[in-house]
Amino acid sequence: MPPAPERLDLFKFAPFRLNRLAAEVSAALASDYRERYGLDIPEWRVLATLGFRHDALSAQYIAQCTRTHKSTISRAVTALLERRLLERVENAEDRREFRLRLSRKGKALYEELVPRLQLKEREIMSCLSAQERAAFDRLIGKIEASLDLIQTSEEADAKEAY
């Protein structure tokens, strides 16, 4: 009879811990933009991705960048277009495809919201010393690199796709 498999302690299993941590941090940030601006998490991800990049982007790029299912991004894009926070831009190379960019109203919302979220991030990270925050950032970067994830704006711009 083969030996019984070792019991998995979820609270020591890194993927579980990372997922739980990400969900909690995301929920903490979401409460601010949900209450104040009526945005849900996928809508914020669309706005954040478009605000982070300077050029118009496809919904497919946004889905890949945020690791969010394309149907979820599609619904978020539709809602943001209806609220006039986004604009469609025709793709000069392929007229069947359109790209997205923030409208003037969307840029204003983004610029108002980003400092609030950065403050919330600082509050969340305040339990760590400056040295611990630097180490945390370095260690996350190592994991991202091992998974071949883009880590900087410059990398994203250079690839012109995620």
Q: Which of 23-32, 79-88, 121-130, 143-152 has the lowest mean pLDDT?
A: 143-152
Tell me if 97 sits within 8 A of 57, measured CB to CB. Answer: no
Tell me the per-residue pLDDT of 101-142, one tens digit each, with 9 for 90 and over: 999 999 999 999 999 999 999 999 999 999 999 999 999 999
pLDDT at 159: 65
Question: Is residue 44 over pLDDT 70?
Answer: yes
* Portion of the chain with pLDDT greater than 70, in percent: 97
Tell me if 156 sits within 8 A of 162, measured CB to CB. Answer: yes
What is the spatial distance between Cα 148 and Cα 78, in angstroms, rounded to a whole number? 31
State the pLDDT confidence band at 160, using cuts at 50, 70 and 90: low
Going 39 to 43 to 49 to 50, the CA torsion angle's sign is: negative
Tell me the per-residue pLDDT of 74-98, one tens digit each, with 9 for 90 and over: 999 999 999 999 999 987 777 778 8
pLDDT at 95: 76
67-77 b/e (C-beta count within 10 Å ≥ 16 → b)? ebeeebbbebb
